[in-house]
Chains A and B, each alone.
Chain A
Amino acid sequence: MELDPLLLSRLQFAFVVCFHAIFPVFTIGLATFIAFLEMLAFRTGNPAWSRLSQFWIQVFAVAFAMGVVSGIVMSFQFGTNWSNFSYAAANFIGPLLSYEVVTAFFLEAAFLGVLLFGRNKVPPGMHLFAACMVALGTFISSFWILAANSWMHTPEGTELVDGIFGVTSWGQAIFNPSFPYRFTHMVLASFLTGSFVVAGVSAWYLLTGREVDANRRALSMCLWLILIGAPAQAVIGDFHGLNTMEHQPIKIAAMEGNWETTRGMPLLLFAIPDQEAERNHMEVGIPRLGSLILTHDWDGEVLGLKEVAPEERPPVWIVFWAFRIMVGIGMLMIGCALVGLLLRRGGRYWQQPVFLNVLRLMAFTPFVAVLCGWVVTEVGRFPWVVYGQMSHSEGLTPSLTGGMVLFTLIGYVLVYAVIFSAGIYYLMRVLRAGIESIDWPEEVHDIERPKRPLSASHVSIEEGGHGHARH
């Protein structure tokens, strides 16, 4: 069998970027949560808030370090596998990615150190300020990345001359048509991810009766955030979808499994799309609801996949099902938020064991939803790397062979498997140690540096290491 460097490169990029995305999506939300906690601690003086903040800062440090490590690989992927794209788009993509590096560095050097290690060394107001700046910094970082990514979906403010994109308007290129929707959708996704992880972990502690006062507060706060965030995400998602329909109608057709251009399109709940036969099997749908959602009109016209040649259609089943998983998880989130609201009467939200167990399991779902969302948008733009202007095959490194990419793909899988199982294992140990661990005597005097965020945590990687009693 001939190994296809294009397919393997796409797989490699998807693998590396998915592994990377898990961490920033969590840390962006968590950074804001920590800033909230710091603000509450500052204003009320209640030690429960600062205990919570101290604990979650440790978790933040580990996840942040993992994000940085996996990000290093990203900055080289563009050149190694997509050199034609890099060369053509460098005038725009280059400065944006560099600004992300610059922002991240500035954030780490100036504020992360104060947040991680400065609690007893700077005035409380300055510590709060550092927490806010770290949160702001994570947003600015994602601003640059999402601006670059959105431009690849809806390229504007640039002109393709002799195979090279020149920037005609930085404003138009950065604030391109899909950017505001994608950015808001992603920021809300980060909030929800942070909230569900904190809620799930707090629920787990509450089930075992650990640090009840602090964890009850954390859970309550997260449930309020989810109550606002989850429905808002559905609304933003709808706007994002309408924007996609305007600029990338074929992606919408794949998301809906819609082959023919029709009026009054049904909303499919279940189907098995068949790329070869150009139809779906075993369709279950609600009549006309699809048209209503997409065009806000029962009889609105929706373009079908057959509008473009078969080789310009994305793999439908991937986009179709990834979209359904994402939306399904979103619905579950809204459900959790409403049940949480009902259980507030009589304070049952932190005592009801079934609800707490559901929240514990829900902690993993935001990551699945985020990755599925990215699969929808990235697979859905097939076959374009810069939508309508440069295809994947045009963007690929011409000298690549299938064997080379297979070698590095296996290599990255192995490296990430080793490194991240260690990282996640360690993260689990920090979570298991719990809030109580901030009272442990600091026998380990690490060299605490902002650019070494992992030094913020003093939990041993092994059972019973450093003589810390397990609780």
Chain B
Amino acid sequence: MHGIDLTIIWAIIIAFGIMMYVLMDGFDLGVGILFPFAPDEDARDVMMNSVAPVWDGNETWLILGGAGLLAAFPLVYSVLLPALYIGVFLMLAGLIFRGVAFEFRFKAERSRNLWNWAFAGGSMVAAFAQGAVVGAYIEGFNTVDGRYVGGPLDWLSPFTVLTGLGLVAGYALLGSTWLVLKTEGYIQQWVRRLAPWLLLVVLGVFAAVSVWTPLVDPSAFERWFSVIRLIWVFPVLALLSAWLVWRGVRRQHHATPFMATMAMFAFTYFGLLVTKWPYVVPPNYTLWDAASAPGSQLFLLIGVLFVIPVILAYTAWTYWVFRGKVRAGEGYH
């Protein structure tokens, strides 16, 4: 295609979309995971108000990612969704529950406790399912002729349970550092106490997954250990970010812990990408095997290149309008 490989452009768009989703929906799912452990109901109001203006836009990336995969990489869409059938259902059910709970909690008084639980439960289930998906992706998919041929629960293994729980802890960490940024007083003190423990759990899972991955995936072993390459910069930077999170929390910084947690997620994500590159349906199919027709990729690219700046501008504007601390009993509710 005139020297430009549309498949590469689409790979970058989708990879960027997934990263945006994980970072942005990650912290608001994290707030949901922390919900039952909040000191009191006032704290829950503040927690919810801190994500209320932004959580909706965050899930746009998930829908765009799903539709974009179908259009640009149909093989990924048509192998991963059947393979993750039950997990995808749990994730969607969780996301729907928490989304609706979110809206109705604001309009409820007596039934508020019910919506609290729906919000927390939905967030946990969705986070766990997403983490298990990452684990299943690392393990690879059982395919013949581009069709998934494995069983309904192949995605659920000790390894994927670990990655599932790891992502629950990871999102909780994102949520807690987000709350360090957005709250003050006793709520901020509570999440400051919590964050280092969550960081410890996340690092534990990170270490376990890093050791385990080369064992479940020989090509990962080859990629990381045959020669020491530039890619080692990603885990090093991820660990450096983890240290910044810890230091930021200790020194009572407001913004650094959240920024550093996001960086930690991003570098871990890049590490995962280079482990699998160029395979998108591991272990058999590359980006180019999975791509749709160039005409289809081009047809959609025009619209997406137009709308992504709009989404980014809308997102930036929203965060700007609602910048600063959220205070108990103030304004919103």
Given A102-B307, A109-B311, A398-B147, A170–B299 Cβ distance below 8 Å?
A: yes
Enumerate chain B residues within 8 angstroms of A99, measured Cβ to Cβ: 300, 303
Bitwise, B28-69 to A at CB < 8 A (1) or not (0) is: 000000000000000000000100110011011011101110
Enumerate chain A residues within 8 angstroms of B62, measured Cβ to Cβ: 72
Of A65, A95, A426, the contact of B300 (CB 8 Å cutoff): A95
Of B66, B96, B108, B152, the contact of A415 (CB 8 Å cutoff): B96
Enumerate chain B residues within 8 angstroms of A426, measured Cβ to Cβ: 104, 107
Of B148, B300, B331, the contact of A445 (CB 8 Å cutoff): B331
User: Is A101 engaged at the interface, CB distance under 8 Å to the other chain?
Assistant: yes
Enumerate chain B residues within 8 angstroms of A398, measured Cβ to Cβ: 82, 147-149
Q: Is the CB of B57 within 8 A of A397?
A: no
Enumerate chain A residues within 8 angstroms of B295, measured Cβ to Cβ: 91, 167, 170
Of B82, B146, B296, B303, the contact of A397 (CB 8 Å cutoff): B82
Q: Is the CB of A94 within 8 A of B67?
A: yes
Enumerate chain A residues within 8 angstroms of B299, measured Cβ to Cβ: 95, 170
Enumerate chain A residues within 8 angstroms of B109, measured Cβ to Cβ: 460, 462, 465-466
Of B72, B82, B95, B318, the contact of A94 (CB 8 Å cutoff): B72
Interface residues on A, range: 35 or more
Enumerate chain B residues within 8 angstroms of A275, measured Cβ to Cβ: none
Q: Is the CB of B107 within 8 A of A460?
A: yes
The complex places the Cα of A461 from the Cα of B110 at a distance, in Å, of 10
Q: Is the CB of A105 within 8 A of B78?
A: no
Looking at the assembled complex, report how far the CB atom of A390 sits from the nearest CB atom of chain B, in whole angstroms.
14
Q: Is the CB of B310 within 8 A of A447?
A: no
User: Is B292 engaged at the interface, CB distance under 8 Å to the other chain?
Assistant: yes
Of A397, A415, A455, A460, the contact of B103 (CB 8 Å cutoff): A455
The complex places the Cα of A400 from the Cα of B88 at a distance, in Å, of 14
Q: Is the CB of B311 within 8 A of A452?
A: no
Given A91-B292, A411-B93, A83–B148 Cβ distance below 8 Å?
A: yes
Enumerate chain B residues within 8 angstroms of A92, measured Cβ to Cβ: 296
Of A408, A418, A451, the contact of B60 (CB 8 Å cutoff): A451
User: Is A166 engaged at the interface, CB distance under 8 Å to the other chain?
Assistant: yes
Given A75-B63, A98-B300, A452-B52, A461–B85 Cβ distance below 8 Å?
A: no
Q: Is the CB of B78 within 8 A of A72?
A: no
User: Is A284 engaged at the interface, CB distance under 8 Å to the other chain?
Assistant: no
Smallest CB gap from A418: residue in B = B97
The complex places the Cα of A447 from the Cα of B56 at a distance, in Å, of 12
Looking at the assembled complex, report how far the CB atom of A8 sits from the nearest CB atom of chain B, in whole angstroms.
12
Q: Is the CB of B88 within 8 A of A86?
A: no
Given A419-B96, A449-B318, A461–B67 Cβ distance below 8 Å?
A: no
Q: Is the CB of A84 within 8 A of B147?
A: yes
Of B79, B80, B93, most A-chain CB atoms within 10 Å: B93
Q: Is the CB of B75 within 8 A of A87?
A: yes
User: Is A444 engaged at the interface, CB distance under 8 Å to the other chain?
Assistant: yes
User: Is A332 engaged at the interface, CB distance under 8 Å to the other chain?
Assistant: no
Q: Is the CB of A166 within 8 A of B103?
A: no
Count, A-B residue pairs, CB within 8 A? 213
Within 8 A of B (CB), among A367-420: 397-401, 403-404, 407-408, 411-412, 415, 418-419
Q: Is the CB of B70 within 8 A of A462?
A: no
Looking at the assembled complex, report how far the CB atom of A161 sits from the nearest CB atom of chain B, in whole angstroms.
10
User: Is A73 engaged at the interface, CB distance under 8 Å to the other chain?
Assistant: yes
Q: Is the CB of A461 within 8 A of B104?
A: yes
Looking at the assembled complex, report how far the CB atom of B48 sits from the nearest CB atom of chain A, in whole angstroms.
10
Interface residues on B, range: 35 or more
Q: Is the CB of B70 within 8 A of A97?
A: yes
Enumerate chain B residues within 8 angstroms of A102, measured Cβ to Cβ: 64, 303-304, 306-307
Enumerate chain B residues within 8 angstroms of A69, measured Cβ to Cβ: 96, 99-100
Q: Is the CB of A105 within 8 A of B293?
A: no
Of A75, A404, A461, the contact of B152 (CB 8 Å cutoff): A404
Smallest CB gap from B91: residue in A = A76
Enumerate chain B residues within 8 angstroms of A412, measured Cβ to Cβ: 89, 93
Within 8 A of A (CB), among B129-175: 146-152
Q: Is the CB of A419 within 8 A of B147?
A: no
User: Is B106 engaged at the interface, CB distance under 8 Å to the other chain?
Assistant: yes
Smallest CB gap from A448: residue in B = B53
Looking at the assembled complex, report how far the CB atom of A14 sits from the nearest CB atom of chain B, in whole angstroms.
17
Q: Is the CB of B310 within 8 A of A105?
A: yes
Within 8 A of B (CB), among A76-100: 76, 78-80, 83-84, 86-87, 90-95, 97-100
Enumerate chain A residues within 8 angstroms of B78, measured Cβ to Cβ: 79, 83-84, 86-87, 90
Q: Is the CB of A451 within 8 A of B89?
A: no
Q: Is the CB of A461 within 8 A of B107?
A: yes
User: Is A364 engaged at the interface, CB distance under 8 Å to the other chain?
Assistant: no
Enumerate chain A residues within 8 angstroms of B310, measured Cβ to Cβ: 105-106, 109-110
Q: Is the CB of A65 within 8 A of B103?
A: yes
Enumerate chain B residues within 8 angstroms of A65, measured Cβ to Cβ: 103
User: Is A232 engaged at the interface, CB distance under 8 Å to the other chain?
Assistant: no
The complex places the Cα of A452 from the Cα of B299 at a distance, in Å, of 30
User: Is A7 engaged at the interface, CB distance under 8 Å to the other chain?
Assistant: no
Within 8 A of A (CB), among B253-310: 292-293, 295-296, 299-300, 303-304, 306-307, 310
User: Is B226 engaged at the interface, CB distance under 8 Å to the other chain?
Assistant: no
Residues of A at the B interface (CB closer than 8 Å) are 65, 69, 72-73, 75-76, 78-80, 83-84, 86-87, 90-95, 97-102, 105-106, 109-110, 166-167, 170, 397-401, 403-404, 407-408, 411-412, 415, 418-419, 422-423, 426, 444-447, 449, 451-452, 454-455, 457, 459-462, 465-466
26 A-B pairs whose Cβ atoms sit less than 8 Å apart in the complex: A73-B92, A75-B66, A79-B66, A80-B81, A86-B81, A90-B71, A91-B74, A94-B77, A94-B300, A95-B299, A100-B67, A105-B64, A105-B307, A109-B311, A109-B314, A398-B147, A399-B83, A399-B147, A404-B86, A407-B86, A419-B97, A444-B106, A447-B53, A452-B56, A465-B108, A466-B109
- Which 8 interchain pairs have the tightest Cβ spacing? A94-B71, A79-B81, A90-B74, A451-B56, A87-B78, A83-B78, A95-B300, A98-B67
